[in-house]
Amino acid sequence: MLRRVAAITQGEFLQALQTSRPPNGWAKKIAVANSGGPDSTCLLFLMDKLLSDPEVSGKGLPMTTLSLTVNHGLQESSNTMAMQCERNAKSLRVDHLTSTIPWGETPFPSRPVESSAFEGLARDARYHLLFDAMTRMDVNTLAFGHHADDQVETALMRLARGTSEIGAGGMRPCRRWGMGMSNLEGGLAWAGYEGMRRWIIRPMLSFSKDRILATCEENKLEYVVDPTNFQPDVTLRNAIRHTLAAAEADSNGTPLPPRPEGESLSGEVHAQVEKMKVAAEQLKEAHYDISGGAAQLRGAVRELTARVSDINAEVDRHLKRRTIPSPVGTFLLAAQDLAAIEDPTVRAAIVLRILRYVSFHPWGSVRAEGNRRSQRLQQIVDLVWAPDPLHLESRHLVAGSGVLWRLAIFRQEEDGRMVLRLPDKSAAHTVKPGERLGWLASRQPPPKKSSQWATARRQNALDEVDLSDELLRAQKAAMGGGAKPFQVLFDNRFLLRFDMDKMPATLATSLAMGRSKIVLGAVTNWQWPHVEWVRGNHKEGRTTLAFVNDPNVNSTNAQEASIDPQLDGWITIEWIRASDAT
């Protein structure tokens, strides 16, 4: 006799929601990505029911729910699905916003056809509009309805693509949105600095699909099913779904489900599925057995997710204990302290965390983590954990992410300031009394006169750029009242804020009359931002307006700069890349 599947209770959902809480706590509003399907419909219902409960309201949870829908317009039923989303939200008295993808308008490409790029383009477009809606509605947390079965598919897909143990742990209940996947500001996959202040949560990851359907049925929730779900007929995810369904049927002794009509696996997808099966069998930390059915796979992914959580916590502890103060935007580890870290997975996780922190690629993108290529990560691990660093043939390494690793000799002065010496790649060096060896990760210096760096500002350009026109426009807007400070994201590492209300009149008048300009460039070995007021073409006509003043910098590396008090106080510079696990 089959046991009836139980609906999700409010107590269970409350516990799951709190597990996905952002590190800085809940804001007053939370948004739900509402596609109209059973997962997001169930999530929206549970969220609204919980937050509307007087016994829960006001106890540290969000106060209101917002429903966000994106109409992709890629099939005849798109409008019907979007209207269903709106009806569901209205029936719950939840505020709702539908955004329609304007295919062919910048930054959106032309309407995609079903191809290998179809799924990625549709996903990027949807996320772009969801992020835009969050920004316009002043919401910093977006909840998705991904569930335990999605978690299994994601883990297996990552295994098929050759991920590490860390990647096979699946999706996290809470993560920072990040800067996006594109270095091109304003591009489809760009979020920039705002992405560092916004969060994606997935409170349904502990619930199976059948419990979500049971919740919809018990509460008579209407939903629609997107037959494509932004996926073409032949994708790795669909192939994995069929593999899992076949395994589940075999384990239950039920007939094998047929493949969708007209679907056939390409050689590449078939090879990835086979790779997934081999990788799953090799993972010792969790007993992946595809033939064991969905329940066993959910348990395996939960074990791996818990293992990843433990690894992240251990990395946090090591970095807190072993990080040495160093120049802003760099990361210094004491070499002698590293031998105590023996777990190779933890070593690789430490390297990944530092790469993401130091890199100039968008925070959260795979490029900021060396594309997670195991061979490159191992190169860095072998260097940093070398038993005798002074006798290495080469003590410099760039192995992805635009991060330079090099041996450093440091000592701490009586005033607490760290003094660094950076040995050449292979020249002989000795460690003097009071000095220690360490490994310094810093932004890779750009190649000279390379087109890679001569691109537009905010594409990681370090070439000097003229800000004058943008500042004049910002000042004009500020005169109308209520304008926010003008912001510049420099090299995906620093945020510069210009408070136009405090801009000295001397500068404003000079710029407006075209007698001078304000420029932004990079200085020091660490490629720090440096703002100058330029009058004429002579060096004497350049006055520093803002720079990074860091006590953990040798005097030979620090820019010899000071700011005239009459020109100071309207520009701030902030390092914005996070080193935590989020």
Q: What is the pLDDT of residues 393-403, one digit of tens each?
A: 888 999 999 99
Of residues 59 and 273, more confidently modeled: 59
In the predicted structure, residue 377 carries a pLDDT above the cut 60 = yes
How many angstroms separate the Cα of 244 from the Cα of each of 149, 219, 438?
A: 10, 29, 48
- Provide the pLDDT confidence category of residue 106 given band limits of 50, 70 and 90: very high
Sheet holding 571-575, edge to edge: 486-490, 494-498, 571-575
- DSSP character at residue 395: -
In the predicted structure, residue 231 carries a pLDDT above the cut 60 = no
* Residue pLDDT, tens place only, 257-309: 555 544 455 565 566 666 666 666 655 555 556 556 667 777 777 888 888 89
In the predicted structure, residue 483 carries a pLDDT above the cut 60 = yes
- The ranges of the chain annotated as CATH 3.40.50.620 are 10-231
Of residues 44 and 253, more confidently modeled: 44
In the predicted structure, residue 556 carries a pLDDT above the cut 80 = no
* Residue pLDDT, tens place only, 324-336: 999 999 999 999 8
Alpha-carbon span 307 to 319, nearest angstrom: 18
In the predicted structure, residue 357 carries a pLDDT above the cut 90 = yes
What is the pTM assigned to this prediction? 0.86
| Neighbouring residues of 228: CB distance < 8 A, sequence distance ≥ 6 | 74, 75
In the block, tokens 């404003």 appear at 508
Q: Any alpha helices (H) in 359-401, and if so which ranges?
A: 374-384
523, two tokens: 């200085």
Average pLDDT over residues 509-529: 94
- Provide the pLDDT confidence category of residue 237 given band limits of 50, 70 and 90: low
In the predicted structure, residue 457 carries a pLDDT above the cut 50 = no
Average pLDDT over residues 533-553: 84
Least confident stretch, 14-28, 294-308, 434-448, 488-502: 294-308
Q: What is the mean pLDDT of the chain?
A: 85
Q: What is the 3-state secondary structure (H, E, C) of 509-559?
A: HHHHCCCCEEEEEEECCCCEEEEEEECCCCHHHEEEEEECCCCCCCCCCCC
Alpha-carbon span 250 to 247, nearest angstrom: 5
pLDDT value of position 536: 79
Inter-residue contact 534 to 519 (CB < 8 Å): yes
* Residue pLDDT, tens place only, 484-511: 789 999 999 999 999 999 999 999 999 9
Average pLDDT over residues 231-238: 48
How far, rounded to the nearest angstrom, does the alpha carbon of residue 569 sit from its chain's CA centroid? Answer: 32
* Residue pLDDT, tens place only, 184-195: 888 999 999 999
Average pLDDT over residues 540-566: 75
Bridge-based pairing of strands 465-466 and 141-143 is unpaired
CATH code of the domain made up of 10-231: 3.40.50.620
Rg of the chain taking only CA atoms, in angstroms:
27
| Neighbouring residues of 517: CB distance < 8 A, sequence distance ≥ 6 | 466, 467, 468, 511, 533, 534
| Neighbouring residues of 111: CB distance < 8 A, sequence distance ≥ 6 | 73, 74, 103, 104
Q: Other CB atoms closer than 10 Å to residue 539's CB: what's the count?
A: 6
pLDDT value of position 459: 42
Of residues 136 and 375, more confidently modeled: 136
pLDDT value of position 87: 95
Q: What value, to the nearest 5°, has the Cα angle with vertex 495 and ends 182 and 565?
A: 155
Inter-residue contact 380 to 405 (CB < 8 Å): yes
pLDDT value of position 559: 47
pLDDT value of position 311: 93
pLDDT value of position 1: 46
pLDDT value of position 516: 95
